[in-house]
Amino acid sequence: GAEHSRHLILVLVVAARVLHWWYASDAQPSGPGPRRLRPPPLLRPCRDAAVPLPADKGLCPICRMPRVNATLAASGYVFCYRCIVGAVEVGGACPVTRMPLTMASLRKVYEH
């Protein structure tokens, strides 16, 4: 009687803890796997931007031609390599957002 009741209570406590552990581990991401990421902030051109954005997003905002050797500025906009290098050397800033830029902040965009 009493011994059987103690074993039953012990089994129920252990089962409750296992269930609690099981469902608590589902709520927390563990290890690599898909995670929900917030979208990046919207890019907004500066009101007094020296260069307005072209309607065709495939064109360089500076020369208004299809981009050659596409290069990403830290501001998030993509330019021709020669165009953005010239803008950084002369003004030190993104011509669309006026965000300060350096040569080290420019990145090649690999397109295929």
pLDDT, average across residues 47-71: 88
For residue 64, give the amino acid letter. Answer: R
- Distance, in Å, from the CA atom of 3 to the CA atom of 1, rounded to the nearest integer, reads 6
Q: Is 78 helix (H, G, I), strand (E, B) or coil?
A: strand
Position 51 scores a pLDDT of 79
Rg (CA), the chain: 28
Specify whether the CB–CB gap between 60 and 80 falls below 8 A: yes
pLDDT exceeds cutoff 90 at 4: no
Per-residue pLDDT reduced to its tens digit, 78-110: 999 999 999 999 999 999 988 899 999 999 998
The tens digit of pLDDT for each residue in 17-53 reads 888 777 775 555 555 666 777 776 666 666 666 778 8
So what's the pLDDT on residue 16?
A: 82
Q: In the numeric block, which tokens belong to residue 50?
A: 């020296």
